[in-house]
Structure 1
Amino acid sequence: MSTGGCHCGAIRFEVRGEPQHSALCHCSDCRKASGAHMVGWALFEQDAVTISGEPVRYQSSEYGERQFCGTCGTSLFYLNQTIFPGKIDIQSATFDDQALFPPQAHIQLAEAAPWMAQVDELPKFDRFPGE
């Protein structure tokens, strides 16, 4: 059993089993919905996920529905019955244990920020520059 939830704790979830995939998505829809340059996802069978609390639902495209916490705004779930029937994508950063489902791929790179190919070349700091 894997667990996770939103920032404020109003929405919690439990997942049984392993994801069908775990990936970092670069599409413009994910970027706009999250405010991040890429979003990590882990795709599960919908009946393997138990959600406590009531996420707010947002129809983000013709077929896609995003769900988030109405209190703190944390993006949590994505459903698309056309592409992923019977499945639910969970934002992997919302799992309590970040080691559980490391990304296996980058997806939607055709829509990635133009500088993303060079992101590994940026300086790295354990906290902030100068600390």
Structure 2
Amino acid sequence: MHALVHPADIQDRDGGVLVMATLFGLYPFLLKLFADGGYQGPAFQDGLRKVCRTLTVEIVRRSDQAKGFAVLPKRWIVERTIGWLNRCRRLAKDWECKSRKGRAFVLLASIRLMTRKLCQKTS
């Protein structure tokens, strides 16, 4: 749906607000954001309130009772998608010198992924 490449000195929380600011201009009908524990806190919440007032944020937390690996359903969606995108050779390593080229390859890999998913035959 959307990608933004920013310098490495920007924290994920701050970069998340930048992504949401540009994403919700394109897709104002989105109502809920699932995020991991790194995005909790007042800085991210205040930044999102300024950008998009109608958005509800749900922080997906790890269970304290779980021992070892436990699948967190909403968080797994993001991790799985990152795994699929990293199957593309150009995205497996940071080879790009310009951020616009990196963004272009993320978008191309996403188009490839979506096309494959849409064209799959279901039994």
Larger Rg: 2
* TM-score above 0.5: no
Q: Higher relative CO (CA 8 A, sep ≥ 6), structure 1 or 2?
A: 1
TM score, norm. by length of structure 1: 0.23
Q: Which has the higher helix share?
A: 2
